[in-house]
Structure 1
């Protein structure tokens, strides 16, 4: 039997206990495919963000042995624009090429270290303004549950840690194993809609409505040829006002957001169904299978056939 993939979870001061346990609960349910260990940055006792501390058996030197490092969130009151020296020393122990995953505020640590410069990332929607102020060089997407940028993955708040860990299992071992893990953990194997559906919109100024309802409506009608004028009309705004408000609230243009949602839905259907590419293209709003192929390749660098084979094994009749 091959050696399990080693995952080292870094428990920082102020760590959130729920999220700290997610990697072990999810990856540890993957039939012995992962070895999940926890380390701290100084001493064996780690104060959590609640009224108890935890004891870890390993120090930061364990990070040098990891195949994947997971950084759970820590109390937002401890966030800083600079990189704390102890945390920086711990990150220095991570070997080049190691896969690194953050949950929620863990992205702040990676950004402070400069690891996310010019790269896509996400974090908890409530912290987006502060993150953008401190780390303008990061391509932040506040609308998704997680971002996979190869060797660096970032996820939104709390339970999105479950989503990104299931994604790791799916990427490493396919949908069948990931689905079994999800059933064991009594969670859905895939959540549609991103974190936009959870974002708390402020009370709009008089005469101004947000775009959240229109985003929800668009997700229910992805298979239709949605024009920006359709979205603006649904939001009861002029096209110019709608585009400006959408960018303010989501951080990307309506057109880019629509494409992102269609690609996410297409990836889910490629993983979970045997539908031909042409049918999937129709369901997610791409005019043709060729259009879906082009968009998928631009987004993740592979064809639908290659993507489906990665997750589900060879499937006849898909190209």
Structure 2
């Protein structure tokens, strides 16, 4: 399989290295075991002849025109973690040219995968419009604002949307690469994961810091503060809107625009976040913790924890 890794100026060092290391490890392990899997032939390409990484290391790249026709293109992250710097980077000429190349590859039937902030480059091309996707969780509000036609769900670590695969934050590069290897050989992907000591992480929900996201909008930040202060009470949207001097419609719309969820869902997320914290840091029973975060009994809390986080109470206790 011919794979082109698209490395743009300021590429995230760890993301690029993880992708290359995982693919080369797959080739080495397949050869060592005498498996007949076709090797992954990897080219690191760019729209420029010289590229420096986010940490100012020189990245050897090929011009796009000199790369073999790929079966798969991977877009690792750019090393811009905050909205202002990222938006400036997305306006660069090399990124515009990269978007043109991505559209040409997609038109030729090439599959495209992007991780973390690389998903912004893919979305910038317009290819993700009307498709499901994920991205780095802390930039989700910017992603929703900039690409409203993309169906974003940051709870997932990997989203497969036909010809496009997207992955969540930072170290999701390894999850994405293992997923791609798995499409060729599940056995090889499992072996690579064991050699690299990588656990399965189907969701990034457990890593999301709700407080960080809420601070990206003044009204949502005030709602977050109000919801935390009234966590033990039954949630009432009309009461919340009144306390914040706004309408129910405005509050619900703003929360959905910033966080991609309803007020009720967000309050539920806050309760689960606090419950997980208490399970890890206190000796309280699950029933007692359920009462402390606004649930009538531990059964409801256990059900929500398993549904949202994919973990049992015992695993969370021992984390």
- Asked whether the two chains share a fold, i.e. TM above 0.5, the reply is yes
Q: Name the structure 2 match of 1:53.
A: 58
1:197 to 207, 220, 234: 207
2:133 to 110, 121, 132: 121
Question: Structure 2 regions of 5+ residues with no counterpart?
Answer: 32-38, 216-220, 242-250, 269-301, 304-319
Alignment of 1:90 with 2:101, yes or no, is yes
Q: Supply the RMSD in Å over aligned alpha carbons.
A: 3.4
Alignment of 1:137 with 2:155, yes or no, is no
1:208 to 223, 226, 233: 226
Matched residue of 1:18: which SS? Answer: helix
2: CA distance between counterparts of 1:85 and 1:118? 21
2: CA distance between counterparts of 1:139 and 1:36? 30
Q: Name the structure 2 match of 1:281.
A: none
Q: Name the structure 2 match of 1:277.
A: none
Question: Structure 1 regions of 5+ residues with no counterpart?
Answer: 211-232, 259-283, 286-319
Contact 1:104 1:124 in 2 (8 A): yes
Instruction: Calculate the TM-score normalised by the size of structure 2.
Output: 0.62
Higher helix share: 2
User: Which 10-residue stretch deviates more, 118-127 or 242-251?
Assistant: 242-251
1: CA distance between counterparts of 2:79 and 2:52? 10
Pair member with larger Rg: 2
Return the offset for 1:52: 2.5
Matched residue of 1:94: which SS? Answer: helix
Runs (4+) of structure 1 exceeding 3 A deviation are: 81-85, 202-207, 233-237, 239-250, 252-255
Which residues in structure 2 correspond to 1:35-74 (within 5 Å)?
Answer: 35-43=41-49, 45-56=50-61, 58-62=62-66, 65-74=69-78
Q: Describe the superposition over 1:56-77 as per-residue Cα deviations: whole angstroms up to 9, x where unpaired.
A: 2x11125561111000111332
2: CA distance between counterparts of 1:247 and 1:60? 39
Which residues in structure 2 correspond to 1:114-193 (within 5 Å)?
Answer: 114-174=126-186, 176-188=187-199, 190-193=200-203
Alignment of 1:13 with 2:9, yes or no, is yes
Contact 1:142 1:250 in 2 (8 A): no
Matched residue of 1:28: which SS? Answer: helix
Return the offset for 1:250: 4.7
User: Which 10-residue stretch deviates more, 194-203 or 130-139?
Assistant: 194-203
State the aligned residue count: 231
Instruction: Calculate the TM-score normalised by the size of structure 1.
Output: 0.62
- Residues 193/239 of structure 1: CA separation in 2 closer, same or farther (3 Å cut): farther
